[in-house]
Amino acid sequence: MADVVAGLSSPQKTLSPKYLYDARGSALFEEICRTPEYYPTRTETALLREIAADLSALIPKGAALIEFGSGASDKTAIVLDAAPQISTYVPIEISHDALDQAVARLAQRYPSLDFVPIAGDFTGELRLPESVRAKSAVGFFPGSTIGNLDPAEMQQFLLRTRVLLGEDSVLLVGADMLKDVPTLLAAYDDAAGVTAGFNRNLLERINRELGADFDIQAFRHEARWNAGLQRMEMHLVSLHDQHVTLGGMRFSFSQGESLHTENSHKFSTDSFDALAARSGWQIVQQWISPAPQFAMFALVPA
Ligand code: AVI
């Protein structure tokens, strides 16, 4: 509540993108991944299949695979199939339901794998159990979820992850690359309106969970390319002057005013290299798909 009130009180009204993912939001995100315009998921999946043997070569015998924000663990099987030397899978996921379902599904497919699920926010302070710390750690952070963090949060996440995974670790990070603006705009504003529904669901969630009175139909979804900050942004734009009440407070929106709900940063190899360098890591290998370009970076402690 305090977070939402603070976001609605700032001059550019803002809400954290992590609130997009209630059960309905997570289902809508999966639907986005199936739209023809949203290329990142299918491009990354194809890339992972193609480079699976290269990834396996980086993974030591008996390693623990630690996945950050694992969700449905959809891409994990590609790595597990290619690297049977992995002994332990550690999914870190804030949604208990998603975590339980993913572990149940993977346990059937990989009966000899050890599972150490951790229910928690991957951007927070994390500790690995002793049984996992004794193993070589391979971090896995696919999906370009790193792009949803602010640059300071990206750096903090990578610095913390370096401490968490230890000196001999490898970190595999998926990152969406800079590309032509029409492709980006279409990916974040699909013709069927799934992304618009995903964005508006945030207001429905605030109404339901915090007792606000947002008129959902009075806001339209807008995807914007911010060239200076190299990111796609999602906004909800007020269609007319209006007030919203929440927790006994009144928030005014003027016509055309936006509520900023998500950033999705896009990278070049140089910008990712610089991010890694200021966060204690270095790129040892990188793979980039043909257009629309999506990258997988293998990092080791610098
Ligand atoms: C989860 N994340 C990487 C997605 C992205 O592309 O930034 C979330 C998303 N937002 C709109 N469409 C997809």
pLDDT digits (tens, 9 = 90+) for 230-252: 999 999 999 999 999 999 999 99
* Rounded distance from Cα 274 to ligand 1 centre (Å): 23
Pocket test residue of 16, 29, 70, 150 for ligand 1, highest count of atoms within 8 A of CB = 29
Residue 72: the pLDDT is: 82
Contacts of residue 273, Cβ cutoff 8 Å, sequence gap at least 6 = 283
Q: Would the pTM count as exceeding 0.85?
A: yes
Alpha carbons 66 and 92: distance in angstroms, whole number = 7
Which residue's alpha carbon is at the smallest distance from atom 1 of ligand 1? 145
Say which residue the tokens 């794998």 belong to.
113
* Rounded distance from Cα 140 to ligand 1 centre (Å): 17
Contacts of residue 255, Cβ cutoff 8 Å, sequence gap at least 6 = 238, 239, 240, 241
Q: How many CB atoms lie within 10 A of CB 298?
A: 20
Q: For 15-30, what is each residue's pLDDT tens digit? A: 999 899 998 999 999 9
Cβ–ligand 1 distance for 169 under 6 Å, the answer no
Q: Phi and psi at residue 70, in whole multiples of 5°?
A: -70, -20
Tokens at residue 128, please?
């690995």
DSSP state of 300: E
Alpha carbons 189 and 224: distance in angstroms, whole number = 9
Q: For 255-276, what is each residue's pLDDT tens digit? A: 999 999 999 999 999 999 999 9
Residue 71: the pLDDT is: 85
Q: What is the mean pLDDT of residues 64-75?
A: 92
Q: Is the Cα dihedral 122, 49, 23, 194 positive or negative?
A: positive
Cβ–ligand 1 distance for 95 under 6 Å, the answer no
Cβ–ligand 1 distance for 261 under 6 Å, the answer no
Chain-wide mean pLDDT for the chain?
97
Alpha carbons 43 and 46: distance in angstroms, whole number = 5
Is the confidence at residue 179, as pLDDT, over 90?
A: yes
Cβ–ligand 1 distance for 195 under 6 Å, the answer yes
* Rounded distance from Cα 90 to ligand 1 centre (Å): 23
Alpha carbons 282 and 111: distance in angstroms, whole number = 34
Which residue's alpha carbon is at the smallest distance from atom 6 of ligand 1? 264
Say which residue the tokens 């709900």 belong to.
261
Residue 35: the pLDDT is: 98
Contacts of residue 245, Cβ cutoff 8 Å, sequence gap at least 6 = 212, 213, 251
Cα–Cα distances (Å) from 296 to 41, 146, 268, 284, 287, in that order, read 12, 12, 12, 11, 5
Which residue's alpha carbon is at the smallest distance from atom 5 of ligand 1? 264
Is the confidence at residue 84, as pLDDT, over 90?
A: yes
Q: What is the mean pLDDT of residues 289-294?
A: 98
Alpha carbons 224 and 194: distance in angstroms, whole number = 16
Cβ–ligand 1 distance for 26 under 6 Å, the answer no
* Rounded distance from Cα 105 to ligand 1 centre (Å): 24
Number of H helices, E strands in the chain: 10, 14
Atom of ligand 1 at shortest range from CA of 232:
7
Q: For 91-140, what is each residue's pLDDT tens digit? A: 999 889 999 999 999 999 999 999 999 999 999 999 999 999 999 999 99
Cβ–ligand 1 distance for 189 under 6 Å, the answer no
